[in-house]
Amino acid sequence: MNWWRRVVDLYVDGFRNMTVGRKLWGIVILKLAIMFLVFKLFFFPDLLKENYDNDEDRARAVARELTSGR
């Protein structure tokens, strides 16, 4: 367990003492959040909500797809 503690301390201490890296990580996280938001909105429509009226129909469609032999 002592080995794990030293590894965690290494990373925690490294992030705590960052100067430029902290801003770069912030930019990376912001860029990823924007990218996933755009992907979700434009490339992954909610097909179940568009094709079925209520939750029961959606559940039946999902169950049918999971149990079909295709």
> What is the domain range of residue 33?
2-67
Q: Compute the distance between CA of residue 3 and CA of residue 22 in angstroms, rounded to an integer.
A: 26
Q: What is the DSSP letter of 54?
A: S
For the entire predicted model, the pTM comes to 0.49
Domain count for the chain: 1
pLDDT in tens, 19-70: 888 888 889 999 999 999 998 888 888 888 889 999 999 999 999 999 987 7
